[in-house]
Structure 1
Amino acid sequence: MTGAVQDQGVLIGLSVVVFALRDGEAVVLTTGGGPDGAGLPFGPFEPARHRTFELALRDFVAEQTTFPLGYVEQLYTFGDAGRESPRAEMGVGARRVVSVGYLALTHDASAVAGPGAAWTPVLDFFPWEDWRDGRPAVIDQVLAPPLMAWAARKDSAARTARVERLFALKPGARWNEQQVLERYELLYEAGLAPEAGRDHDQRAAPLPGRAMVSDHRRILATALARLRSKMKYRPVLFDLTPDTFTLSQLQAAAEAVSGLSLHKQNFRRGVERTGLVEPTGRLSAATGGRPAELYRYRGAEASGGGVTGLSLPGQR
C-alpha cells in the first residue's frame, strides 16, 4: 500500500488547530515563523510508524511543541486534485497532497517549546474578523477598494454581490461571523492574500493579517468557522475556560472566539436559560472591582442529556 501511494506521488499530511484562551484573547498553537509565516503543528502520516492518524498527530505535536494534546476531532480533509485555494506542498516531487486537519480545544495555554512554537492570537491572522470594538476600519479602508476593483474588472454582478455580502458592505447589512473561510478564500481568489502571490509567483498586495505557510491559513479559517458555529449548539466554550469563572469572564471568552461585542444583560440571561452553569458560592477577587460570583459548568447533565450552546446577542 505504501509503495502504491508513493508511486502516485500522494502524501498524507496531518495538521491540527489547537485553540486556547490567554489574557482575554483566543490563541492558536503555531510553529515556525519563517519568511512564509507561521505554521500549524504539522507532519506526515507514516504507516510503518503509526497505527492511526490520531496517534501520529499526538506524537509530532508533542515533538514539535512539547504540548500534550487532549481531546481532538477531525476537522476536514483537504485533498482535491489540483486545488489552488491555496496550494499545499509537502516533500520534493509530491504531485498530490491529502491534508487531514484536526481541531483541538484546551483551557491550558501553558508554555510550549520547540522551534518557533508559540501561542499566537487568532485574529492576528484575520484582523477583519474582530468586531469587538465595532466595525473594523480595515474592511472599508483597506479591503473593500481592491475587492470591488477586482469584481469590476470582469464586470461581474455576481462577484460584486459576493464581496458586498461577505464583508457586509451595504448599509444595514448583517455581519455573519461564521463565514471566516468564505472571506479568506475570496481574498485569496482576488489575489489579495499574500499566500496567493506566493502560490502563483505573483506580487500580492501587502494586506493586514499574518500569512501562514502552505495552506495553513485556510485550515485555520476552517477551524475558526467551525468553532464559531459550534458555540451556538454545543457547550464547547467550556472546553476553553477554567474550572471556575465569572460571567464576565465567560462573556469575554465568547467575544474573543466570535469576534463580536455582546450585550451584557442579554448574554447573562441567555446563559441562565440554558442551565449550563451553576454558582459555586464563592467570589472572585481578581476582577479589579467588586468581587464577582464564581460559576462552574454543570456538565452533560445540565440540559438533561440534550445538546445546547450559547446564544450570541450582538451589541447594538
Structure 2
Amino acid sequence: MDRAVQDQGVLIGLSVVVFALRDGEAVVLTTGGGPDGAGLPFGPFQPARHRTFELALRDFVAEQTTFPLGYVEQLYTFGDAGRESPRAEMGVGARRVVSVGYLALTHDPSAVAGPGSAWTPVLEFFPWEDWRRGRPDMIDQRIAPALAAWVAEAETAARAARVDRLFALKGARWNEQQVLERYELLYEAGLTPEAARDHGQPARGAIPGRAMVSDHRRILATAIGRLRSKTKYRPVLFDLTPDTFTLSQLQAAAEAVSGLSLHKQNFRRGVERTGLVEPTGRLSAATGGRPAELYRYRGAEPPAAASPACPCPASDNRNGTLAGNARAD
C-alpha cells in the first residue's frame, strides 16, 4: 500500500435523512444554515465512545436537534474520492471522509431545538421534482436551455440522450425515482452552487433550489429516490401519517412523497384493493366541509395479488395497472 495513502487515514461520518409530513408537504430535518446552505444531521463515528454506528447516530442527532430518532435504516455509503468534508470543523485534517447515510421516517415532526435545526420542505432543495400541479415551468424555461448549452460544448449523443431522458424532454416520460441522477447531471454540468463551490469556479447558471453543505444534497436526493421507490412495494406512507387519517390525507401524503398528482378515484380504488386500511367508524370534522370517514392502517402485509403495497404511481408502468393509472397526467 502507498505510504502516503496509508498515513492519510479515513474518518467515518454518519448522516441521517429524517422525513416527515407537515401541512401536506414533505419536510426533512436540517441543521445549520450558514453560507454554504443547510445540512443534514451529521457527526463523526468515535469508536471509543460508541459501540455501534446507530448508537452514535442517535446520540449526535439528539444533541444537534433534540429530536429522538425512531426506526432508522441504512441508506448508502458515500465514499467517493474528492468528497468535500462538511464545512463544520471536525479536526479531520487531510483524512478522507466516508459517510454512512441513514433514512428515518416519522409521523411526528415535533419541535426541534439546536443551532439552525428545523423541518425544511424537501422541494426547496429540488423544486423541479414537484409535478403536483403539472410540469414545472422551470424545466423548460431555465433547466433545459442551460443543459442544452452544456450539451453543445461536447456534442455527444449520449450526453443529449441523458438530458432528454432525465428531464422528460422530447417526449421522454418523467421518472420520479431518478432524483439523484437529475441532481448529479446538474452538478456535472456546473449548474449547482455545490459544483461551483467544490471546484472553485463561478456558478454557470442560476438553477433554482437551495444549496446544502458538503454533498448533503446528493445524500438527500438518494433518500428521496429510495423513499419514492419504497412506496411501490412497502407501505411506508403509514410511517408518515398519524394513527387515523382520511383517504384525502393519505392521497396528499402519497402526492407529497412522489411529487405527482394522483387521480382521486383510481387512488381510492387502489387503497381498497391493497386491503391495507380499514374504517374506524368515526368521522373527521377537520376537513373544512362534509365530514370524512377516518381510516387506520391494518398493520398486515397485503396478499401478493394485492400489490403494490401503496397505490402510488410508477412512471415507467404503461400497461394499465393500478400503479400506472393512479397518475393524473
What TM-score comes out, normalization by structure 2 length?
0.90
Alignment of 1:185-264 (within 5 A): 185-204=184-203, 205-264=205-264
Alignment of 1:153-192 (within 5 A): 153-171=153-171, 173-192=172-191
Give the match's secondary structure for 2:164: helix
User: Residue by residue, what CA displacement relative to the aligned partner does 1:122-161 show, whole Å, maximum 9, x if unpaired?
Assistant: 0000000000000000101110101011011111111011
Quote the Cα distance in structure 2 between the aligned partners of 1:56 and 1:154.
Answer: 45
> Would you say the 8 A contact 1:77–1:100 is kept in 2?
yes
Task: Give me the CA root mean square deviation.
Answer: 1.6
Quote the Cα distance in structure 1 between the aligned partners of 2:226 and 2:236.
Answer: 11
> Would you say the 8 A contact 1:195–1:212 is kept in 2?
yes
Q: Post-superposition shift, 1:20?
A: 0.1
User: Residue by residue, what CA displacement relative to the aligned partner does 1:265-312 show, whole Å, maximum 9, x if unpaired?
Assistant: 0000011000000000000000011000000000025548x9852132
Amino acid at match of 1:175: W
Give the match's secondary structure for 2:54: helix
Alignment of 1:70-149 (within 5 A): 70-80=70-80, 82-83=81-82, 87-89=84-86, 91-149=91-149
> Would you say the 8 A contact 1:61–1:68 is kept in 2?
yes
Quote the Cα distance in structure 2 between the aligned partners of 1:152 and 1:6.
Answer: 42
Amino acid at match of 2:23: D
Aligned to 2:17: 17
Quote the Cα distance in structure 2 between the aligned partners of 1:301 and 1:56.
Answer: 32
> Would you say the 8 A contact 2:11–2:92 is kept in 1?
no
Q: Post-superposition shift, 1:50?
A: 0.1
Quote the Cα distance in structure 1 between the aligned partners of 2:93 and 2:301.
Answer: 52
Quote the Cα distance in structure 1 between the aligned partners of 2:141 and 2:259.
Answer: 19
User: Residue by residue, what CA displacement relative to the aligned partner does 1:199-233 show, whole Å, maximum 9, x if unpaired?
Assistant: 00011122200000001000000000000000010
User: Residue by residue, what CA displacement relative to the aligned partner does 1:150-174 show, whole Å, maximum 9, x if unpaired?
Assistant: 0111111110110000000113x21
Overall identity of the aligned pairs, in %: 84
Q: Post-superposition shift, 1:93?
A: 2.0
Amino acid at match of 2:241: T
> Would you say the 8 A contact 2:37–2:213 is kept in 1?
yes
Give the match's secondary structure for 2:207: coil
Give the number of aligned pairs.
307
Amino acid at match of 1:87: E
Structure 1 position 291 matched with structure 2 position 291 = yes
Give the match's secondary structure for 1:147: helix
Aligned to 2:317: none
Aligned to 2:328: 315
Amino acid at match of 2:182: R
Q: 1:13 to 1:6 in 2, by over 3 A?
A: farther
> Would you say the 8 A contact 1:9–1:93 is kept in 2?
no
Aligned to 2:32: 32
Quote the Cα distance in structure 1 between the aligned partners of 2:145 and 2:122.
Answer: 25
Quote the Cα distance in structure 2 between the aligned partners of 1:302 and 1:221.
Answer: 29
Structure 1 position 270 matched with structure 2 position 267 = no
User: Residue by residue, what CA displacement relative to the aligned partner does 1:45-71 show, whole Å, maximum 9, x if unpaired?
Assistant: 000000000000000000000000000
> Would you say the 8 A contact 1:234–1:307 is kept in 2?
no
> Would you say the 8 A contact 1:125–1:217 is kept in 2?
yes
Q: Post-superposition shift, 1:6?
A: 9.1
Amino acid at match of 2:28: V
Give the match's secondary structure for 1:300: coil
User: Residue by residue, what CA displacement relative to the aligned partner does 1:106-135 show, whole Å, maximum 9, x if unpaired?
Assistant: 000000000000000000000000000000
Quote the Cα distance in structure 2 between the aligned partners of 1:231 and 1:46.
Answer: 34
**Which has the higher mean CA deviation after the structures are superposed, 91-100 or 197-206?**
91-100
Aligned to 2:57: 57
Quote the Cα distance in structure 2 between the aligned partners of 1:280 and 1:6.
Answer: 61
Q: Post-superposition shift, 1:15?
A: 0.2
Quote the Cα distance in structure 1 between the aligned partners of 2:8 and 2:35.
Answer: 30
